[in-house]
Structure 1
Amino acid sequence: MAQLLGRVFSRLSHRPIRNMATLQDDAHQVFWSAVSAVLPPRMLRRALAVRETSGPPVLECGGKEILLENNLYLVGFGKAVLGMAAAVEQIVGKHLVEGVISVPQGIQETLRKAGKRDMLLSPGSRIRVMEGAADNMPDEAAMTAAGEIQKVAEKLQEKHVLLVLISGGGSALLPAPVPPLTLQDKQAITKQLALKGATIQELNTIRRGLSQLKGGGLSRAAHPAQVVSLILSDVIGDDLDVIASGPTVCSSYRAEDCLQILSKYGLRGSVPAAVEDVLLSRPRPDPAQDHGRVHNILIGSNLLSLREAEQEAQRLGYVTSLLSTAISGDVHQVSRFYALLGEVLCSYVTGTPQSRELEESLLAVASSMDIPGLHLAARLQEVKEAGASDGVCLLCGGETTVQVQGKGRGGRNQELALRVAAQWHQSAAAMQGCEVVLLSGGTDGQDGPTPAAGAISSPQLVAQAGHCGLDIENFLNASDSYGFYSQFQNGRHLLVTGLTGTNVMDVQVLLVRRRKNQ
């Protein structure tokens, strides 16, 4: 990951931008290229192949070659796993003995209605599909599926190969608390910790300590079989032990770490006695047991999708920079970052004198966000030196957070876009020499409890809304970004993709070019 991030700034050669396409069209095209790079069929064709030989066929995966002799089993869990399993089925065909996957409630019917047949298993498939985790919360249906996955793993022998498919949402779809704990016990403990302000790292430490399958538990259950995990990342940094809580990644579990977390938040005396018993009775994982037997392979990530978007933006003629895959934090701060970034880029594109105060404000906001590996000042200088008069595309990815404060409908991407538009409205006069759009969208096609994946903003959006009698502040105060965007004819500012069948967090596309009449 570090090596890849070291090459995030694009080649700055470019061709003249097409005059016929609107900036919004280009933003859509760049976004779709990002999504297409991590769709299950494409990802799996890159990662997996079966080579027929004069002897037993060979499974090629991640540089590994494994003989197929009626020994291949499959399990999976996550939001994108149904499409991943369908792609694997096409590749391995008759060589698969048996499979079980745990996927979100209702996903098969949703994909069927959307006409996405390539994301569905074939009739008579050897893979059983079990749906659960309604509203992305672990439930009894998901526990039943986890139990079936565990049964498959535990019956395997040394000659067998377990292919594991993992994507975002997998943690909720693989709940298996250590007996005698119940699912309700585990949920209550993590809820108490969350209410007391425990970090996500602390919550995951406790979850792994109380789970049979997380933190390498699944790979231990499959011992002595070979385990090959194909992983689609939905987390910043692509830490494999964080994605779905790392079921095939040997964790550095220590009971004292878990007990220290409980003590830190004053819960040692209030949690059920069985919790401490479970934590103290868990054996410390032995990495040697997995050595040479377990192979974890990252096949898709936000970085991979943005690299594809980068190439598409270059093809369209933009000076392009992939800034970061780690944009996170409160949407108020992130929207300020994008608003200032758009204003600064406008001055580059038009060649107007740049306010040092504005550029310093941008750098100060970026510094406060503490984005690893950003180096914004150097990136901006490279954009200027490349000659930005034909247009600039800046690409980012990650996942922001929103504090819901009303009863409206929306999602983090729509609210981000709307807040950027509100701030651009204050600087619209200074930006009038440019066309500017920001597209922010979820690669899974769903942004909050809405049918949209995200939205597009521009400096003119608030003025257009005012002509229609819409007060943007009222919508923001009600957390109703979807309600705002829905007011426009044909929903032209909403990004509506339908369920994509993949999930690598969010993508932001910022495009700036000189107005044609300037």
Structure 2
Amino acid sequence: MVAAFGRYLRLHCNHQLIYKYWQPRRPHPIASVISKEMSLQQHGLQIFQAAINAVLPQNMIKNNIRIEGNRLVIQNQCFPVHKNVYLVGFGKAVLGMAAAMEEILGDHLLQGVISIPFGIQRILQLAGKEDMLLRPQTKIQAMEGARHNLPDENALKAANTIHHLVKGLTTDDLLFVLISGGGSALLPAPIPPITLEEKQCLTKQLAAKGATIQELNTVRKTLSLLKGGGLARVAHPAQVVSLIMSDVIGDHLEFVASGPTVPNSQSKEDCHKILSKYNLASSMPESVKVVLSQPSTKMDQEDPHGFAHVCNFVVGSNAIALEEAKRKSESLGYNTSVLSTVVSGDVRTVAKLYSLLIRYVCSVLAAANLKYVHASKLKDEILQMVTSMELSDFHLDGCLELLEETRRSRKPICLLAGGETTVRLQGKGKGGRNQELALRVALELHCIKSEIPQNALTKHEVVFLSGGTDGQDGPTDAAGAFAYTELVDKAFSEGLNVEDFINNNDSFTFFSKFNNGADLIVTGLTNTNVMDVQAIVIQPKET
């Protein structure tokens, strides 16, 4: 953690990635080649930082909420306040959200409890980010836990404290619930007799087998007291207002932090199906079997109170981050298109999709006309993959229009996308989904360079970026990494075999050793989270 603090402070000033501090520690033997790539990487960093800045918690709160006398206005809805406000929260972005809410509410706030990632307050203190910290005389109790985004005893204590606070509220009270990505791990309250250790072990097993975030949250909700609408039920009859920073595909609120203020549409039968899908039904703990064997009560449908006392607002999302990234990219001179906000699936499949896109763009730009046969075949492959991956909002048409403009203007091109991929663990290395995705894209580009007619790929400079907006990619202090067409060859010249690192899920170790670590993206914990951002930056080489 001390090393992480050091890197954070070296690389940051006012929450901006300062490129001059991000250079390799010693001259690289092929610096003349790297210099051009670094220029594209610098732009990639600026685009990525713009995406993060757009969803910083204090910005999201202040852009959506204002107080007018004794009324709090949230996205044009009004709530009366008269020193009757309580606040709870859980997630990676919640500390900054709570600080902003504390400033807005003033004396109307009576008490609060938030569950936040371990070490985040110290990181922000060292970075001088006072605007993301609670006031010295705060009424909000901040409880840290969930190391490496995994539930632990500290998070359990925080969940119990939140439970105790909300269950004593009355009709006259107003409860704000701040929710962001990472909230599931920070609000663990398993249904007895399930223990935290048993639930944590089951979650690890599902994640290791490649379960999606939706599948993980379905299981978490089914086995939890507060998730799946549980917190809202406990808080009744108080008015509940949830401010949500979404970190799930499609912004489905029941999956953000496992939907503590949203009716649960999943059942125990759904949980059974997921455990069976990943061959865990027979090996799950006896306590889980006991809970799942109990008859379903359909509480959400039969609860006489319902959820009429709850209002949920989305104040931050991947789409908001990508739109700001697009504005920044265009200001840097790129023809830019946002392809999708729902890119998900195994990193192997997603890497192949991005490789096809890069090949397609380079083939079209290098062709004499847009009817180039090879490019047409690549387009068909892309459309088939988009359909099979069920990427409902993938805007390939926008990319096609962009290519026509790019062919005329010769301006560089930037393709943006967001979402959240998964990794199937098969090794014992250290890494994260963004670093592994970048490494797999590099390997894909290396393998197909010879397949492209007239070497269209080699006629362009290509940089691929994938980074998590929370600043922490897996159990590492990196947010993600860069890839480019020459990466695999350069790694081989340094004695590093990319495939060996991929097979061991050891992407962080690779990027730490390769090129002095210059291709890692290190931001420190950003105190926000709206999933991942990917950028493909392409420009023709000078002839």
Within the candidate set 462, 472, 481, 2:498 is matched to: 472
Greater mean deviation of Cα atoms: 498-507 or 173-182: 173-182
Within the candidate set 449, 456, 465, 1:430 is matched to: 456
2:223 & 2:185 partners in 1: Cα distance?
14
Aligned length: 494
> Does residue 245 of structure 1 match 2:245?
no
Within the candidate set 212, 229, 233, 2:246 is matched to: 233
2:233 & 2:314 partners in 1: Cα distance?
20
1:302-451 alignment to 2 at 5 Å? 302-352=318-368, 354=372, 355=374, 356-376=376-396, 378-388=397-407, 389-426=410-447, 427=449, 429-451=455-477
Instruction: Tell me which residue corresponds to 2:166.
Output: 153
1:493 & 1:404 partners in 2: Cα distance?
23
Instruction: Tell me which residue corresponds to 2:533.
Output: 507
> Does residue 112 of structure 1 match 2:128?
no
- Alpha-carbon distance change, 263 to 479 in structure 1, aligned in 2, over 3 angstroms: closer
Within the candidate set 475, 478, 483, 1:457 is matched to: 483
What displacement does 1:514 show?
Answer: 1.7
Instruction: Compute the TM-score of the two structures, normalised by the length of structure 1.
Output: 0.86
Q: State the AA in 2 paired with 1:465.
A: A
- Alpha-carbon distance change, 285 to 187 in structure 1, aligned in 2, over 3 angstroms: farther
Instruction: Tell me which residue corresponds to 1:5.
Output: none
1:371 & 1:398 partners in 2: Cα distance?
10
Q: Deviations over 1:55-97 (max 9, x none)?
A: xx21111322122211011000112211211121122222211
1:136 & 1:207 partners in 2: Cα distance?
14
SS state at 1:296 partner: strand
1:119 & 1:175 partners in 2: Cα distance?
24
Q: Deviations over 1:31-66 (max 9, x none)?
A: 1111111111111101221123xxxx2111132212
% identical aligned pairs = 50
Q: Is the CA contact (8 Å cut-off) linking 1:178 and 1:278 kept in structure 2?
A: no
Q: Is the CA contact (8 Å cut-off) linking 1:86 and 1:121 kept in structure 2?
A: yes
1:59-70 alignment to 2 at 5 Å? 59-70=72-83
Instruction: Tell me which residue corresponds to 2:46.
Output: 29
- Alpha-carbon distance change, 24 to 58 in structure 1, aligned in 2, over 3 angstroms: same
1:187 & 1:448 partners in 2: Cα distance?
16
> Does residue 216 of structure 1 match 2:229?
yes
SS state at 2:240 partner: strand
SS state at 1:486 partner: helix
Q: Is the CA contact (8 Å cut-off) linking 2:300 and 2:306 kept in structure 1?
A: no
Within the candidate set 521, 524, 532, 1:495 is matched to: 521
Greater mean deviation of Cα atoms: 501-510 or 148-157: 148-157
Q: Deviations over 1:210-239 (max 9, x none)?
A: 322111111111111111000111111111
SS state at 2:251 partner: coil
What displacement does 1:111 show?
Answer: 2.7
Q: Is the CA contact (8 Å cut-off) linking 2:354 and 2:441 kept in structure 1?
A: yes
Q: Which runs of 5+ in 2 are unaligned?
A: 1-35
- Alpha-carbon distance change, 329 to 21 in structure 1, aligned in 2, over 3 angstroms: closer
Instruction: Tell me which residue corresponds to 1:8.
Output: none
Q: State the AA in 1 paired with 2:415.
A: L
Q: Which runs of 5+ in 1 are unaligned?
A: 1-18
2:365 & 2:254 partners in 1: Cα distance?
43
1:346 & 1:269 partners in 2: Cα distance?
49
Instruction: Tell me which residue corresponds to 2:310.
Output: 294
Within the candidate set 86, 101, 107, 2:114 is matched to: 101
Greater mean deviation of Cα atoms: 149-158 or 32-41: 149-158
Instruction: Compute the TM-score of the two structures, normalised by the length of structure 2.
Output: 0.82
2:270 & 2:492 partners in 1: Cα distance?
55
Greater mean deviation of Cα atoms: 301-310 or 397-406: 397-406
What displacement does 1:503 show?
Answer: 0.8
What displacement does 1:140 show?
Answer: 2.6
Instruction: Tell me which residue corresponds to 1:485.
Output: 511
What displacement does 1:404 show?
Answer: 3.2
What displacement does 1:261 show?
Answer: 7.2
Q: Deviations over 1:460-506 (max 9, x none)?
A: 22233333333323332333222222234553222111111111111
- Alpha-carbon distance change, 169 to 197 in structure 1, aligned in 2, over 3 angstroms: closer
Q: State the AA in 1 paired with 2:360.
A: V
Q: Is the CA contact (8 Å cut-off) linking 1:345 and 1:392 kept in structure 2?
A: no
SS state at 1:212 partner: coil
1:262 & 1:357 partners in 2: Cα distance?
39
Q: Which has the higher helix share?
A: 2
1:253 & 1:135 partners in 2: Cα distance?
27
Within the candidate set 80, 83, 87, 2:100 is matched to: 87
- Alpha-carbon distance change, 259 to 465 in structure 1, aligned in 2, over 3 angstroms: closer
- Alpha-carbon distance change, 407 to 199 in structure 1, aligned in 2, over 3 angstroms: closer
What displacement does 1:199 show?
Answer: 7.0
What displacement does 1:191 show?
Answer: 7.0
- Alpha-carbon distance change, 122 to 504 in structure 1, aligned in 2, over 3 angstroms: same
Greater mean deviation of Cα atoms: 172-181 or 242-251: 172-181
